[in-house]
Structure 1
Amino acid sequence: MNWDHARIFLAVARAGQILAAAQRLGLDHATVTRRLTALEADFAAKVFERRPTGCTLTAVGEALLPIAERVESEMLRAQALLGGADLRLEGTVRIGAPDAFGTYFLAPRLGRLAERHPDLLLQLVPLPRTFSLSKREADLAIVLERPQHGRLVGRKLSDYSLSVYAARAYLARTGPIAGRADLKDRTLVTYVQDLAYSSGLDYMDALAEAAGRRFECASAVGQLEAVKAGAGIGILHDYAAATHPDLVRILPDVRFRRTYWLAVHADMRDLRRIAETDRFIAEEVRACRAQFLVADPAPGARSGRVARR
């Protein structure tokens, strides 16, 4: 199989559009179209149904996809073994992360890795969504559940906790909150339930029935900013809330514990730029592990129990 044709086929299969694949590859639309046509001529069959809305794999394309991915994996191994660029830690590493972890933890730290390796281009994508490592949407991904499917390798980064917070100014304006009964006239700032991409984000029910109103925001960063601005109370990441002294932890018996996992595709983990970035993230988390879990309430303060869901 012609590798140049195969990599273009993979880019279009993953992007779903010729234009998006061309932009990702740094090629023009005509070049990508021409090479796809050459690939189809080699196989004497169509690999995509090309429509105005995008490209869909045909049955032949579906059969070709895992073969092209194996070719890609072998090329990556060859690059790791023979490529001088990889030895110099040169190239791009895209890191997919939940927006809270990406914004409040990774963003302030990744600059040190970039400074250490000037030819390494780091791309941090802190979005409230999942990333497909198999489709190469990211090289590394921080996820909320241990990878169970495909050729993905995952290792535990750290447990982390979430608690209920309100802004000091909000409490001064609306009165103290001593228990759930005090929530009946309050607004709960929470996520948009049908946009939650992981069961690990399911913690709204703990307070939704007690609160009088809800303000839903799909972004964890947006939720924190809304609570900080006095829009209501919210369940926030403790390590993120700790950086804002104007936030007060309330309802100490309502706690949640979750886990961050670091995932990488098995074919990518031996590339030095991937392995070095993986190692850097793991070491940074290890050094700051105490920040991810707040101490349990003192004995006798409410139930003192960490909620696990």
Structure 2
Amino acid sequence: MQRQAMDPDWDDLRVFLAVARGESLSAAGRVLKRDPATVGRRIARLEEAMGAALFQRAPSGYGLTVAGERLLAHAEAVEQAVAQGVEALSGAADRLTGQVRIGAPDGCANFLLPRVCAGIRARHPGLDMQIVALPRVVNLSRREADFAITVSPPAAGRLTVQKITDYHLHLVAHRDYLATARPIERLEDVAAHPVIGYIPDMIFDAELDYLAEIGAEGVALASNAVSVQLGFLREAAGLGIAHDFSLPFVPGLQKVLAGTFSLTRSYYLVRHAADARNGRLHRVGDMIAQGLRAEVARLEAMA
């Protein structure tokens, strides 16, 4: 006779979510501040209580089974309900508290988000704002962050996507470089100058591949970080494409061929679909989007 599954308690589901997101007992243990062996025993106990295997064990990590995938959505719903209940009981309807982590490309993380996050926290001192600057797309399914800022809307995953704003880029160089370099009167003239940009095989989004836009065949000085590219430009080492919103931070940089060449890209705010009913994150997300729109407009007006 088949044994009837038992209802897990919230602590069991917390352990399950940590393993599902970290894909290993050790990663889950770090989040839960528990020994990995203890986490393993809790998962084994939960699987026994549920009467089903929730994970496939492999050398590469723990992957969800079909039963685990079904439980995941319900576990995340319980997580949101608990969070909303705590918020309601705390009497903090207007005050936002707790940790909020935002993953973003380093251009956005360096030049836009600090002012935006500082402004949000000034209004809500109980928030702990964290910015994760990564040269890749943040994995929300593994809960690396609560929000991701991306330059392309993701096409897969249980995610909600909101366009924040457009931003602009131009070909730039330091005035010291332009003072001695060969004249640049047409886009074809760029080929005679050293180009600064991304490391080609480390570009994580096609929207960041600017080389074809200027007809450059390669980069003389490259980095996967926008801040390093701006450092090369500050040293009068060549030409590069830079965000207009970054130019006020680097005195001496000048737009080149501004009347004939520019690029337009967009930022998107991405969050996990399970957070759609989380009132706290919804409010924070609205403030992030509004703040980024205002900051892009403010800095581009100064460029």
Query: Compared with structure 1, are the counterparts of its residues 154 and 28 closer, same or farther at alpha carbon in structure 2 (3 Å cutoff)?
Result: same
Counterpart for residue 303 of structure 1:
none
Query: Compared with structure 1, are the counterparts of its residues 128 and 176 closer, same or farther at alpha carbon in structure 2 (3 Å cutoff)?
Result: same
Are the counterparts in 2 of residues 80 and 270 from structure 1 also a CA contact under 8 Å?
A: no
Where do residues 286-305 of structure 1 align in structure 2 (5 Å cutoff)?
Answer: 286-291=293-298
Are the counterparts in 1 of residues 163 and 269 from structure 2 also a CA contact under 8 Å?
A: yes
CA apart distance, 1:249: 0.9
CA apart distance, 1:272: 4.5
CA apart distance, 1:125: 0.9
DSSP-derived class of the 2:39 partner: helix
Q: What is the CA–CA distance in structure 1 between the aligned matches of 2:232 and 2:15, rounded to whole Å? A: 43
Are the counterparts in 2 of residues 96 and 124 from structure 1 also a CA contact under 8 Å?
A: yes
Counterpart for residue 107 of structure 2:
100
Where do residues 72-91 of structure 1 align in structure 2 (5 Å cutoff)?
Answer: 72-82=79-89, 84=91, 88-91=95-98
Tell me which of 121, 124, 127 is aligned to 2:128: 121
DSSP-derived class of the 1:184 partner: helix
Counterpart for residue 56 of structure 1:
63
DSSP-derived class of the 1:129 partner: coil
Structure 2 residue 37 is the aligned partner of structure 1 residue 30: yes
Query: Compared with structure 1, are the counterparts of its residues 62 and 272 closer, same or farther at alpha carbon in structure 2 (3 Å cutoff)?
Result: closer
Tell me which of 240, 243, 252 is aligned to 2:249: 243
Per-residue CA distance 1:113-153 (angstroms, 9 max, x = gap) = 32433331111112122123344322122222345555533
Are the counterparts in 1 of residues 211 and 218 from structure 2 also a CA contact under 8 Å?
A: no
What is the TM-score with the length of structure 2 in the denominator?
0.83
Deviates more, 1:89-98 or 1:173-182: 173-182
Counterpart for residue 300 of structure 1:
none
* Corresponding residue pairs, total: 295
Structure 2 residue 189 is the aligned partner of structure 1 residue 182: yes
Q: What is the CA–CA distance in structure 2 between the aligned matches of 1:32 and 1:41, rounded to whole Å? A: 14
CA apart distance, 1:105: 0.9
Where do residues 1-309 of structure 1 align in structure 2 (5 Å cutoff)?
Answer: 1-82=8-89, 84=91, 88-146=95-153, 151-209=158-216, 213-252=219-258, 253-291=260-298
Q: What is the CA–CA distance in structure 2 between the aligned matches of 1:212 and 1:140, rounded to whole Å? A: 34
Are the counterparts in 2 of residues 98 and 127 from structure 1 also a CA contact under 8 Å?
A: yes
Q: What is the CA–CA distance in structure 2 between the aligned matches of 1:99 and 1:293, rounded to whole Å? A: 17
Q: Percent identity?
A: 37
Are the counterparts in 2 of residues 158 and 292 from structure 1 also a CA contact under 8 Å?
A: no
DSSP-derived class of the 1:227 partner: helix
Per-residue CA distance 1:246-265 (angstroms, 9 max, x = gap) = 11111222211011122333
CA apart distance, 1:21: 1.8
Deviates more, 1:106-115 or 1:3-12: 106-115
DSSP-derived class of the 1:254 partner: coil
Deviates more, 1:252-261 or 1:146-155: 146-155
DSSP-derived class of the 2:257 partner: strand
Deviates more, 1:264-273 or 1:20-29: 264-273
Structure 1 vs Structure 2 CA RMSD: 3.0
What is the TM-score with the length of structure 1 in the denominator?
0.81
Per-residue CA distance 1:13-43 (angstroms, 9 max, x = gap) = 2112221222123333233222112112213
Are the counterparts in 2 of residues 185 and 212 from structure 1 also a CA contact under 8 Å?
A: no
Give the letter aligned to residue 145 of structure 2.
Answer: A
Are the counterparts in 1 of residues 102 and 130 from structure 2 also a CA contact under 8 Å?
A: yes
Deviates more, 1:162-171 or 1:136-145: 136-145
Deviates more, 1:146-155 or 1:18-27: 146-155
Deviates more, 1:153-162 or 1:55-64: 55-64
Query: Compared with structure 1, are the counterparts of its residues 290 and 70 closer, same or farther at alpha carbon in structure 2 (3 Å cutoff)?
Result: closer
Q: What is the CA–CA distance in structure 1 between the aligned matches of 2:45 and 2:95, rounded to whole Å? A: 34
Are the counterparts in 1 of residues 248 and 299 from structure 2 also a CA contact under 8 Å?
A: no
Per-residue CA distance 1:50-79 (angstroms, 9 max, x = gap) = 455432334443443334333334434444
